[in-house]
Every structure is written in C-alpha cells, then in structure tokens.
Amino acid sequence: MLYPISAIGSHVAKSPNDISGREVSFESRAVAAMFGTFGYELDVTKLSEDELKQIPKQIARYKSIRRLILDGEYYRIASYRENKEYDAYMIVSEDKKEAFMIYMQVLSKAFSRSRLLRLEGLDSDMKYDVNGKVYDGDVLMNAGLLIPGSNDFEAQFIKITAV
C-alpha cells in the first residue's frame, strides 16, 4: 500500500447512501469502517434506538484492534475487482498471536453458497480461536475458513486469537 491503513479515513455513513441509494445495515457499515481511522459521519439524531445502542460496542471493537491497525501486517485475501462478489482482507500482529479479518459480500449471486477463504500471515504451528472454534494455523492457511453465504452488502468482522 502507498499509505498505511492508519492514514485511511474510514467512517460509518448514513443509509440509504446519497449517491448510490443503497441501504446497508448499520453493523455492516461499521465493520467496513474498521479498516482505517474509524468514525461516524452521519446525523446521530436520526439513528434508531437499536443503532444508538450498537455505537459503544462498535467503538470498543475498534479500540480492541487499534494496535493491529497501527502495527499489523496487511493481507488481501480476496478482491471484489477480481471475483465480482466479495472482498476479504486481514491484519496480523507481528508475533502472529492476534489478527482480524473483514469479509464483505458486495453482490451475491442467486443460490450463493458458503466459501472457503485461505487466510494468510498466521503461524502454521499455532492454534487459533475464530468465533469460538479452535483451528490449526496450518488448516486456516491451507484448507481455509468457511464463510457462510450472505446477502448483498453484508459484512463480517472475524477476530482471530492464538490459544
């Protein structure tokens, strides 16, 4: 990358979007904004009670990965420009004990199925907790992590921690 991830302005915007008219869930917009400086660029007085309750959790999630954003190693797992369906990217700590991945389903196809994504940058000899399940680093990087099929503009934040 030309600039570090920590230099990228990345904010939760309103939905529907003024330019595209697309409606995207508040959670998916927050997950997408995690890759950068993270902030909110919308009128909070127009948010629902449920959305307002999500904000402290979203900020806490970002604070838990802020060190990775600043110092971690970036990996592009999949590119929407190439596959025309989804993006996936991750950041791994230098000691390979902590990482996170963001998976974003941009446009889904009819009858979309789950997919295996091969992660990168982990330690093949370590075991990792991923959403409450433990996997060998070797398995995550060679066989892959199963990502369930999802709807248009749905994003997932996946925390990966060595155990």
Residues 59 and 136 in one domain: no
* Enclosing domain of residue 19: 5-71
Residue 84: give its domain's CATH number: 2.60.40.1180
Cα separation, 43 vs 80, whole angstroms: 30
122 — phi, psi (to 5°)? -85, 175
pLDDT at position 36: 86
Residues 99 and 47 in one domain: no
Pick from 55, 10, 14, 60: which is nearest to 37 by CA?
10
Mean pLDDT by runs of 10 across the 163 residues of the chain is 79 88 92 92 94 97 94 95 93 98 87 88 98 97 92 93 98
Cα 57 from chain centroid? Answer: 15
pLDDT at position 134: 98
Cα separation, 109 vs 112, whole angstroms: 5
Cα separation, 7 vs 75, whole angstroms: 17
Question: Where a domain ends, among 71, 87, 115?
Answer: 71
pLDDT at position 7: 80
Residues 59 and 129 in one domain: no
Cα separation, 66 vs 68, whole angstroms: 5
| Total domains present in the chain | 2
